[in-house]
Copies of this chain bind each other. A is one copy, B any other.
Amino acid sequence: MTARDPNPPSRGLRRTKDDVVDAALSVLDRVGLPDLSMRRLAEDLGVQPSALYWHVASKQELLAAVSARILAPVALRPGDPTDLGRAAVTLGHRLHDRLLAHRDGAEVVSSSLALGLVDSPVHDALRTVEDSPAARVVADAVTHYVVGVTFHEQQRRSADVWGTAASEVSLTASSVDSTDDGGFAAALALIAAGIAAWQESVGRPLDA
**Which residue of chain B lies nearest to A192 when distances are taken between CB atoms in the complex?**
B206
Known: A89-B207, A183-B133, A187-B140. A148 touches B116 (CB 8 A): no
Known: A133-B183, A197-B197, A208-B86. A191 touches B113 (CB 8 A): no
Among A116, A138, A152, the most chain B Cβ lie within 10 Å of the Cβ of A152
A208 to B192, CA, bound (A): 10
* Interface of A: prevailing SS: helix
A80 to B208, CA, bound (A): 13
Give the chain B neighbours of A191 by CB distance below 8 A.
Answer: 141, 190-191, 194
From B111, B141, B147, B189, A187 is in contact (CB under 8 Å) with B141
From B138, B151, B193, B208, A114 is in contact (CB under 8 Å) with B151
Count residues of A near B (Cβ-Cβ below 8 Å): 49
Could you tell me if B116 and A159 are in contact, using CB atoms closer than 8 angstroms? yes
Interface residues of A in 99-158 (CB under 8 A from B): 106-107, 110-111, 113-116, 133-134, 136-138, 140-141, 143-145, 147-149, 151-152, 154-156
Give the chain B neighbours of A193 by CB distance below 8 A.
Answer: 193-195, 197-198, 206
A57 to B191, CA, bound (A): 40
Q: Across chains A and B, which 8 residue pairs bring their CB atoms closest together, nearest first?
A: A144-B148, A194-B194, A189-B206, A189-B207, A193-B197, A190-B194, A193-B194, A197-B197
Known: A114-B148, A189-B198, A190-B194. 12 other contacts (CB 8 A): A86-B208, A114-B152, A114-B154, A115-B155, A133-B183, A140-B187, A144-B144, A144-B152, A145-B148, A185-B207, A191-B194, A197-B197
15 residue pairs from A and B, CB less than 8 Å apart: A86-B208, A116-B152, A116-B156, A133-B183, A137-B183, A140-B187, A141-B187, A144-B144, A148-B148, A186-B207, A188-B207, A190-B206, A192-B206, A192-B207, A197-B197
